[in-house]
Amino acid sequence: MKVIIIQTFIAALVSIVAFAHSGLAQGILERKVSLQMNQQTIKTILSKIEQQTNVHFVYSHQLIGAHRKISIKVADEQLVKVLEKLLTPLDISYELNGSRILLNPIGSVMDSSAFMDQASITEGTTDMLAQQITGKITSQQDGEPVVGATVLEKGTTNGTVTDIEGKYTLTLKGTEAVLIVSFIGFLSEETVVGNRSEVNVALVPDVKALEEIVVVGYGSQKKSVVTGAISSVKSSDLENMPVTRVEQSLQGRTSGLTITSSSGQPGAGSTVRIRGTTSINNSDPLYIVDGVQIGGGIDYLNQADIESIEVLKDAASASIYGARAANGVIIVTTKKGRSGQMEVNYNGYMGIQAPWRRLKLLNAEQYATLLNEATVAGGGQIRFQNPAQLGKGTDWQDAVFSNNAPIQNHELSLSAGSEKSTYFASFGYLSQDGIVAPSNSQYRRFTTRFNSTHKITKAVTFGSNIGYTRINSKGIDPNSEWGAPLNRAINIDPITPIIVTDPDVLNTSPYTDKPVVRDAQGRPYGISNIVTSEILNPIAALAVTQGRNWSDKIVGNAFLELEPIKGLKLRSSAGVDLAFWGDQSFSPVYYLNATNQNDVNDYNRGINRGLFWLWENTASYTRTFGKHNLTALVGTTAQRNYGETQGGTRTGLPVNNLNDASLGYPVPQTNQYFNGGEYQNTLASVFGRVIYNYEERYLFTGIIRRDGSSRFGPNNKYGTFPSVSVGWVASNERFWPTNNIVNFLKFRASYGITGNDNIQDFRYLATVGGGRNYTLGNGSSVTLINGVSPNAISNPDLKWEQTSQTDIGFDATLFGKVSFTFDMYHKKTTGMLLDIAVPWYAGNNGPVGNVADMVNKGYEIELGYSTNFGDVKFRINGNVSYLKNEVTYLGADKKYLQGQRFGPQQVEITRTEVGKPVGYLFGFKTDGLFQNTEDIASYVNSEGQMLQSNAKPGDIRFVDVNKDGKIDNDDRTMIGNPTPDWTFGLTASASWKGFDLMVFGQGVAGNDVFKGIRRFDLPTANWTTEALGRWTGEGTSNHFPRLTINDVNQNFSRSSDFFVENGSYFRIKVLQIGYSLPQAIVGKAGLKRVRIYITGNNLLTFTKYTGFDPEIGGGSMGVDRGIYPQARAFMVGLNLGL
C-alpha cells in the first residue's frame, strides 16, 4: 500500500511540473540554508537541508554515492547556491519538480574511486564494446510503473533511474551484463541481459518494507508489528461510498463487524456489533473521534473529513479503554492539513430515490372475494355481492411511496500549511427526502470542521480539532404495527378511497358531523368501515402529523505535546462533546375513525442539552537498544457526562398548525404540563502499556487499566482491566528463504479483559419516588395524602460487567498480490447487569445485580487480491465472519427474559434463555395443515385424546413440543434466530485509461425474520397475494391456512414459525462508474483532478424473504412490522481537485 502511494505521489508530482509556475520553483530555490557539517555523509547533509527548506530529495543511494563523507559550511545562503557548492564537485545534477529535487549522477557513470573497492573498479572499467538497452520497470502487484527505480549494471557503478513512466535507457559496459533493479518497498531483482535490447522487469513488493500505520489507543503502530486484531479502513476506501451516515460505509468492509440499518428512513441509525452481542444491556461499541469519546454514534461526521477508521476487535487492542471497551472500539481520525501549496477538493452528487421493492397486496376485487370467503367460513354472510365491480381499488403503497425522492450531498475541503503549521477546513451539506411520505420524512445536515497543528518550537507542538454539525429532520414511525404509515398501507382495505368524492357518502356521518381530515382543496379523506383500530387512512394520518427535530453538536479537542528529550513525549489533551437537541410537534383537532380522534389540540416541545468533557494526560517513551525496540506509555483520564432534559405540553391553543403553535398564545394553567430531568456520571482512570519487539520478529504488548465509575457503589467502584498479546513474524527470521510465494507471515495471540458500566446512574442506591398517594377514609369522605415510597432495593456490591476474550490469528501476504488475515476468538461476558427478582410482597422493585453470562465465539477471514491485465488494473477484497452466540447463565431465579411483543394482545415473539442465542424468535412450531377431518381425529396424544379438537380442515397443525399431550403455551420454543451466523462483504474495482468501476456488495446468512406485517387482531386486514394460494380444499395447500374471520384455531393470532422466513440476503450496495479527464486537459484549466461518476445504490438484492426488507436492525432486530425499506438510488457526481 505504501509503495503504491509513493509511486502515485511521485508520478503526480512529475505531471504537475509541466504546469507549474516558474515563480514557484524560483521561490523554493530562494529558501535560505545554514549548515556547518564536518565529514558527514551526503545523505545526512541532504536530510538537514530537507528539514530547513521543506523540500524532499529523490535519489538512488548507490548511484550518487550517498555514503561519501564531505564537509560544508554556509550561512543564510539561498538553496540554489548551496546545491551548486554541494553537488557540482560531486558530479551530481539536480532537477526541481514541485517541492521535490531529483538527483542523478552526471553522465550516469560516476567516479568509482569515490566509493567502490578496487575489485569493483577493475571489473567496472574493463574496456568492452558498448551495448544500449531499454526497458520498463513495473510493480508485479498491480502493473503500475515504478518511478525512480534504480537500474544498475552489476559489479559497476554504471546505472540510471526510471522516469515518470517507469522507463529507462542504459549503455552497458560488459558483454555478460547482469542488471540489478531495486526500489524502496520492493525486493531487488537480478536479471541476465544476454543479447536482448529490451529488458522489462516486474518487481515484487517487499512486504517487510511496507510500513502501513494503523491507529491504536493513544498512539499508532506499524501494521506489521501489531499483535491485536485491528481492522483499518482508509479514506481512499470511503471516498466513493455515497452514504448518509459514516457507519454505513463500514458495512461489509471489515470482518467481525455487523452493521444493520434500523430502517431506510433518512438519518436512521444503525445497529453496530463487533463480534456479536456482548451484553443484554447495551452492545454498542465505544466511539473515539480524534481522542474524544462520542455518545450516540458518529452520524454527525462528514465522511469526507475522515482520514481513517480503525476497529479494535479483541480485548488486547481495546483494553487500553478499560471499562468502556467491552463491546469493541471504533477509532475515527479526521484529516489534518499538509505542508505545501493549498489543496482544494470538492465532491458532490445529486440523485433520486425509489423503493427497491413493493409488496404484492390484494386489489379490491381479490380482497372482497377472499373476505367473503373468510366471513362465510366464520359463520357470517357475504359482504360484497359483486367483487368484480370494485376493480383494482386503492393502491395504498402507491399513495405513500415516492419514486423520485431527491438526495444531494456536497463536500468541500481545504488543506494548507508550512513547515511550522498545517490547516484543514471543510464544509458539508446533505439533503435527503424519504421514499415514504417525503414531506414527513426528511433529513438535512450541515457540517463544518477546522483542524490545525502548530510546531511552536522543536520540542513543543500544539493542535486542535473542532467540528460543528446541525441536523434538522422530520420522521415517521419506521417499523410498528401500531399505525406506522407503511403498516397502515399494508393492512387497510383497498376498497376505501384516499379521497371521498361519492355524494351519497359525503352526506353521511362522520363526514357531516365530525372534524374529519381534509386535503388542501377541502375534500375529506376516506375512512374505512371495514378495517378499524389504528389502521387508518395513512394519507389522512400523515396530514395531521406535524413535527420536526433538530440538533446542534460541537465536538472538539486541543492538545499540547512536549518532547523534552528524544523519544520522550508528554501530552495533555482536553476534549468536549457539547450537544443541544430538541423536538416539537402539534396535533390539531381531528377525526380519523371512531377510536382515533382528538377533541382538543396540543403542542409539545422538548429541549435538551448534554455536556461531556474529557481530560487525558500521557507520557510515552520510545527507545531502540540495538535490536530491541521499546515503547512505554502511562496516562490518566478524567471524564464527566452531564445532561438536562425539559419538556412541556400546552393544549387548547387557538391555532391549527405547528408554526403558529409556538407563538406563545396564553392558555389556562390547567392546560399546561411540564416535565424534566437530569443525568450525570463520572469516570477516573489510570493506565499503562508496554510495546516491545526484537528485530520486529518477536512481539509483545502488555496493557493494564484501572477505572473508577460513579455508577457503582463504594464496595466495587474500581475495576482493573489487563491484557497481553504476543506475535511472531516468521518471515523476518534469518532462516526464512527469500521467495515470491509467502512474502510475509505473522502469527499472533492475545488475551484480555474489558468492562461495561452502561447502566442507569446510581442503580446501586436505594431510591425513593414521589407522587405516591395514600387514601384515608371511605365513601364521600376520602382524603388523598401525597408522599414518597421506595423505588428499588440497594445493592452496594454492584460491579462491572466483565468481558474476557481470547484471540488467535495470523496475517500473510502471498505472491506479492494476495493479502490474507485469519482470526479465531472466544469472548465471554460475565456478571451482566440485570434486575434481580424479589417477592411481590417486598413492596418495591428488586436491585440491579451481576447475574447473567453470555458467550460469543467465531472466526473471521479477510482476503485481498490485486493485479493487472494489460492496461486494466484490478483489485478485489472480501471478508467473511462466523458467529455463534449463547446465553450461559441468567441467575438462579430466572429461567428466561421476555423480549419483543406484537399487537394489542402483546404476543411474545422473542425471548432470551440459557442455552440459546440472545433474543431468539419464540413461538409455536407447525407441521403443515390438516387436510381433512381424519387428520384432525388422528392427531392424538398417548391417551387417545385429540390435540386440536377445535381445528377444521385447512387449519395449522401445531407441534406438541414438550410431549405433554396438549397444545398450550408450554409448547412455545425457539423458532428462529435473528442474529446472522455469517456476515460477509465483497468489493471489486477496476480501472482502465481514466475509466474506473467499483462494485460493493454486502450480506448475511443463517438468520431469520419474523414477518409481522399483518395485525393478528384484525381478521379483515388486507393480505398479500400469497393468500391466493390458501387452503381451499384437500391437497390445495400445506402451508397457507384457510381464511376465516373466526379463527378459533389461532392460525393467524399465535406466534409460530408460519410467520418466520429466511432472512439471508446479498445486496449490491454500490455500483459506480467514473471517468477522470486527462491531465493534459485538466491542467489547462488550472485544476489537478476532474472526475465525473454515476452511482447506483441498492440496485439488486438477492433474498428469499418476501417482506419489504430483510435488513432490520434497531429495537426490532429481526422483526418486520412493516419496515421502512432501503431506497434504491441513482446519482450523478463530480470530483474536483484544485
Contacts of 264 (CB under 8 A, 6+ apart): 434, 435, 436, 478, 1109, 1123, 1124, 1125, 1126, 1127
Q: What is the pLDDT of residue 39?
A: 81
Distance (Å, whole) CA 1041 – CA 784: 55
Q: In the predicted model, is pLDDT for residue 23 greater than 50?
A: no
Q: Which amino acid is at 969?
A: N
State the pLDDT at residue 868. 83
| pLDDT of 911 higher than 80 | yes
Choice between 450 and 153, residue whose per-residue pLDDT is larger: 450
Q: What's the grid cell of residue 404?
A: 423520485
Model confidence band, residue 26 (pLDDT cutoffs 50, 70, 90) = low
If DSSP codes are grouped into helix, strand and coil, which group holds residue 933?
A: helix
**Residue whose grid cell is 452511482:** 1095
Residue 207 — very low, low, confident or very high, per pLDDT cuts 50/70/90? low
Cβ neighbours, 10 Å, residue 623: 12
> Strand order in 159-161's β-sheet?
159-161, 150-153, 178-182, 189-192
Q: What is the pLDDT of residue 121?
A: 28
Q: Which of 63-67, 122-126, 790-794, 957-961 has the highest mean pLDDT?
A: 957-961
Q: What's the pLDDT band for 952 if we cut at 50, 70, 90?
A: very high
Specify which residues 700 forms β-bridges with. 692, 726
pLDDT at 124 over 50: no
pLDDT digits (tens, 9 = 90+) for 471-490: 999 999 999 888 899 999 99
Q: Which residue has the higher pLDDT, 739 or 570?
A: 570
The band of 718, judged by pLDDT with boundaries at 50, 70 and 90, is very high
Q: 979-995, pLDDT tens digit by residue?
A: 999 999 999 999 998 99
CB-count burial class (<10 Å; 0-12, 13-18, 19+) for 706: middle
The per-residue pLDDT for 9 is 36
* Contact between 959 and 968 (Cβ < 8 Å): no
- Residue 155 φ/ψ region, left for φ over 0, alpha for ψ in the -120 to 50 degree band, beta for the rest: left
Residue of 319 and 894 predicted with greater confidence: 319
- Which has more pLDDT, 11 or 1056? 1056
Tell me the per-residue pLDDT of 694-713, one tens digit each, with 9 for 90 and over: 999 999 999 999 999 999 98
In this structure, are residues 853 and 827 in contact, taking their beta carbons and an 8 Å threshold?
A: no
Mean pLDDT value of segment 715-730:
95
Highest mean pLDDT among 100-104, 156-160, 298-302: 298-302
DSSP letter for each residue of 82-151: HHHHHHGGGTEEEEEETTEEEEEETTS---GGGT--HHHHHHHT-----EEEEEEEEETTT--B-TT-EE
How many Cβ atoms from other residues are within 10 Å of residue 779's Cβ? 5
Residue 265 has pLDDT above 90, yes or no: yes
* 5: pLDDT strictly greater than 70: no
**pLDDT at residue 660 is higher than 60:** yes
Q: Would you call 703 helix, strand, or coil by DSSP?
A: strand
Q: Which of 361, 443, 350, 445 is nearest to 404 (CA)?
A: 350
10 Å CB burial of residue 1085 (0-12, 13-18, 19+) is exposed
Average pLDDT over residues 109-113: 36
Classified as helix, coil or strand, 363 is coil
Give CA–CA dist 5/211, Å, rounded: 12
* pLDDT at 111 > cutoff 50: no
C-alpha span between 581 and 477 (Å, rounded):
19
| pLDDT of 1132 above 70 | yes
| Residue ranges in 888-930 assigned as alpha helix (H) | none
Judged by DSSP in three states, 850 sits in strand
* pLDDT tens per residue, range 33-77: 888 888 888 988 998 898 788 787 877 777 787 878 888 888 888
- Residue 601 confidence class, pLDDT cut points 50, 70, 90: very high
Peptide bond into 510 cis (omega under 30): yes
3-state secondary structure of 731: helix
Q: What mean pLDDT do residues 791-806 have?
A: 89
Average pLDDT value for the chain = 89
Q: For residue 48, how many other CB atoms are within 10 A of its CB?
A: 16
The whole-number pLDDT of residue 839 equals: 75
The whole-number pLDDT of residue 206 equals 63
Q: Which residues pair with 230 in a beta bridge?
A: 312
Q: How confident is the model at residue 135, as a pLDDT?
A: 92
Most confident option among 3-17, 837-851, 905-919: 905-919
Q: What is the pLDDT of residues 1085-1126, one digit of tens each?
A: 888 899 999 999 999 999 999 999 999 877 778 999 999 999
For residue 419, name the pLDDT band (cuts at 50, 70, 90): confident
Beta-bridge mates of residue 631: 622, 691
% of the chain exceeding 90 in pLDDT:
63
Q: How far is it, in rounded angstroms, from Cα 627 to Cα 620?
A: 20
Residue 184's pLDDT is what? 65
pLDDT at residue 798 tops 70: yes
pTM above threshold 0.85: no
Q: Which residue has the higher pLDDT, 119 or 574?
A: 574
What is the arithmetic mean of pLDDT over 925-942?
97
Question: Is pLDDT above 50 for 1127?
Answer: yes
pLDDT surpasses 90 at 1046: yes
SS3 243: coil
Instruction: Give the pLDDT score at 13.
Output: 34
Whole-number pLDDT of residue 25: 53
Query: 216 versus 740: which is more confidently predicted?
Result: 216
DSSP letters spanning 409-468: EEEEEEEEE-SSEEEEEEEEEEEEE-SBSTTTSEEEEEEEEEEEEEEEETTEEEEEEEEE
- What's the confidence (pLDDT) of residue 1091? 95
Half-sphere exposure of residue 686: CA atoms within 13 angstroms, side-chain side: 1
- Residue 541 banded pLDDT, cuts 50, 70, 90: very high
- Measure the CA–CA gap between 27 and 50, rounded to whole angstroms: 15
753: three-class secondary structure by DSSP: strand
Residue 1030 has pLDDT above 60, yes or no: yes
Lookup: cell for 129:
564494446
Average pLDDT over every residue of 278-290: 91
pLDDT at 97: 66
pLDDT given for residue 130 in this prediction: 63
Q: What is the pLDDT of residues 377-410, one digit of tens each?
A: 999 999 999 999 999 999 999 999 999 999 999 9
Question: Within the chain, how many helices (H) and strands (E) appear?
Answer: 16, 58
CA distance 973 to 922: 6
CB atoms within 10 A of CB 527: 23
Contact criterion met (CB below 8 Å) for 971 and 941: no
Identify the pLDDT of residue 903.
Answer: 84
pLDDT band at 194 (very low <50, low <70, confident <90, very high): confident
Distance between CA atoms of residues 896 and 369, nearest Å: 44
